[in-house]
Amino acid sequence: MIKVVHYINQFYGGIGGEEKADYKPEVREAVVGPGMALKAALGADAEIVATVICGDSYFNENLEVATSEILEMVKKYNPDLFIAGPAFNAGRYGVACGSICKAVKENFNIPVVSGMYVENPGAEMFKKDLHIVETANAATGMRQAIPAMVKLALKLAKGEEIGSPAEEGYIVRGIRKNVFKDERGSKRAVNMLVAKLKGEEFTTEYAMPDFDRVEPNPAVLDIKNAKIALVTSGGIVPKGNPDRIEASSASKYGKYDIDGVEDLTKETYETAHGGYDPVYANEDADRVLPVDVLRELENEGVIGKLHRYFYTTVGNGTSVANAKKFASTFAKELVNDGVQAVILTST
């Protein structure tokens, strides 16, 4: 019998939602939440011997401590297989699943599997380290995700050969393998080209990355009379982070008034961003969001005016989908407010 430890977050553990995201790691010798579907799919081949539950914020904001605590919990059960999630498109959950899977694999040398939507930041961060089954973007895809995860997990646990992403359903890992074909590469390439020219279907043997094409805006013709706005993914917020923007995998952005503000002091502003040393940003938030310099340029007449609001979020692990959603919302406000140029800063 294959022994399985299952990892889930506070929501699927029945602890609570965002208000319980700081929940510390807990282990239960029971099947919890989506573990019920997992148990049914595993059948007689394996059993869930323990479930580890941890809040998304706690894990991501206490990465080393949380990882160490969970590894100790997992070690106690000496499992043959570790399954995390599925996380779907929940960013912090995905990062936590990927992080703990990688740690378990490296420390205990056992197979690990998770499940995520392809745009989950955890998928991009950890797809080379482990097998991540591609899921829908929401929990409505649970019925499809669990069987696919179990099928792959059992093959890994039994040491069976793993097929291609298309065959097994996991996210492309970017790992190339040498294989033998009946036809040489040049002939296969020509055949694909001919099929493409004819409008016929074909499958490339080496898919290229898909990058957005962003056309640059035209130059600002009259910078001395232009209204300039500041936007940052560096997480600069008023002291106390009033909108509780997450330190990682942000689900929101903030809009803050700096009318009359000449300088961002350590008494009034800080960074909410995780993943980098915040000391220098907290000492002087102008290092990330240069309000002081823009005020100088405004007073000297180099620019027309600094917009009274700045927009901020955290880039650490934030999904591309969320980032696009944020920008599409506040970009309309900036245009309506007569902003002619934006300075976008990061960490």
What pLDDT, on a 0 to 100 scale, did the predictor assign at position 216? 85
The amino acid present at 163, given as its one-letter code, is G
Please give the distance of CA 331 from its chain centroid, rounded to a whole number. Answer: 23
pLDDT band at 263 (very low <50, low <70, confident <90, very high): very high
| Lookup: tokens for 40 | 């049914």
Above pLDDT 70, what percent of the chain?
100
Q: Is residue 196 left, alpha or beta, with left meaning phi > 0 and alpha meaning psi from -120 to 50?
A: alpha
Alpha-carbon torsion, ordered 320, 120, 128, 273, to 10 deg: 70
* Per-residue pLDDT reduced to its tens digit, 173-196: 877 778 888 999 999 999 999 999
* Per-residue pLDDT reduced to its tens digit, 77-128: 999 999 998 999 888 899 999 999 999 999 999 999 999 998 888 998 899 9
59 sits in which H/E element: helix 56-61
d(CA 13, CA 60): 17
Q: What is the residue-averaged pLDDT of the chain?
A: 92
- Residue 101 burial (CB count, 10 A): 25
Bridge-based pairing of strands 112-116 and 131-134 is parallel
Domain residue extents for the chain: 2-168, 223-345
What pLDDT, on a 0 to 100 scale, did the predictor assign at position 319? 73
Would you give the DSSP letter of residue 170?
Answer: B
Residue 25 pLDDT greater than 90, yes or no: yes
Lowest mean pLDDT, pick from 31-40, 197-206, 209-218, 297-306:
209-218
d(CA 142, CA 91): 17
Task: Give me the residue label for tokens 């936590």.
Answer: 96
CATH topology of domain 2-168: Rossmann fold (3.40.50)
What pLDDT, on a 0 to 100 scale, did the predictor assign at position 11? 93
What pLDDT, on a 0 to 100 scale, did the predictor assign at position 249? 77
d(CA 314, CA 254): 10
d(CA 120, CA 226): 37
d(CA 319, CA 316): 9
For the segment 28-43, the average pLDDT, to the nearest whole number, is: 94
Cβ atoms 70, 54 nearer than 8 A: yes
Please give the distance of CA 206 from its chain centroid, rounded to a whole number. Answer: 25
* Per-residue pLDDT reduced to its tens digit, 294-308: 999 999 999 999 999
- Residue 263 burial (CB count, 10 A): 12
d(CA 149, CA 143): 11
